[in-house]
Amino acid sequence: MTERSLIPVGRIERVIRDLRGHNVMLDADLAAIYRVETKALVRAVRRNPERFPADFMFQLSRKEFEDLRRHFGTSKSWGGRRYRPYAFTEQGVAMLSSVLRSPRAVRVNVEIMRAFVKLRQILESHAGLAKKLAELEKRSDAQFRVVFTAIRKLMAPAASKTRRIGFSSEAS
């Protein structure tokens, strides 16, 4: 029997971020997925501090918050968040289902856990591929170096191309 998914896996995967070396989800993203207000989610977490140790959840530093704000272009003076968000690790997200007591929270939590597992599997297969490539490179001769260099470039994360926004006073 297959259950119908509440949230597309792609939506969950898009909000999983890498912060401080952990795959995390921010409180506002989780609140949107659980269909609760962010302040209600944070309130439930604060009422149960023993369930959320530092390796389950942390609050973003001022610099991390400013970087995030710049990334999304939200305003500091009008609209947007005024406080630093909380980031939940995979274990913290799992713990959320125990403090958000609704059937939807349980079902959504299962789907989020599946997304984390899928992400972990992708990362492990990528690491395994890199290891196999290194072994193969050691056994090959110099004529294949160009091929290995090209493969490594394809495996590297895409560099983000930032463009300056606005008008330039310089004549082009």
Tell me how far apart the alpha carbons of residues 81 and 66 are, in angstroms, rounded to a whole number.
11
Distance CA 69, CA 67 (A): 5
Q: Please write the tens of the pLDDT for every residue from 46-68.
A: 999 998 999 899 999 999 888 87
At 83, phi and psi to the nearest 5?
-120, 160
What integer pLDDT is reported at residue 27 of this predicted model? 92
Closest by alpha carbon to 33, among 50, 16, 47? Answer: 16
CA 44 to each of CA 108, 114, 148: distance values in angstroms, whole numbers, following the listed order: 17, 23, 51
Predicted pLDDT of residue 5: 65
> Are residues 41 and 27 in contact, defined by beta-carbon separation less than 8 angstroms?
yes
Q: Give pLDDT tens digits for 129-143.
A: 777 777 777 767 665
pLDDT of residue 1: 40
Residue type present at position 153: K
pLDDT tens for the 172 residues of the chain, in order: 445 666 766 777 788 888 888 889 899 998 988 888 999 899 999 999 998 999 899 999 999 888 877 766 555 555 567 788 999 988 888 888 778 777 777 777 777 777 777 777 776 777 777 777 777 777 676 656 666 676 667 666 655 555 555 555 655 4
Residue 21 DSSP symbol: T
Radius of gyration from C-alpha coordinates of the chain: 21
Q: How far apart are the first and last CA of the chain?
A: 63
Q: Domain segments of the chain: what residues?
A: 9-123
Distance CA 119, CA 121 (A): 5
Alpha carbon distance 75, 93 (integer Å): 28
Q: Is 23 exposed, middle or buried (0-12, 13-18, 19+ CB in 10 A)?
A: middle
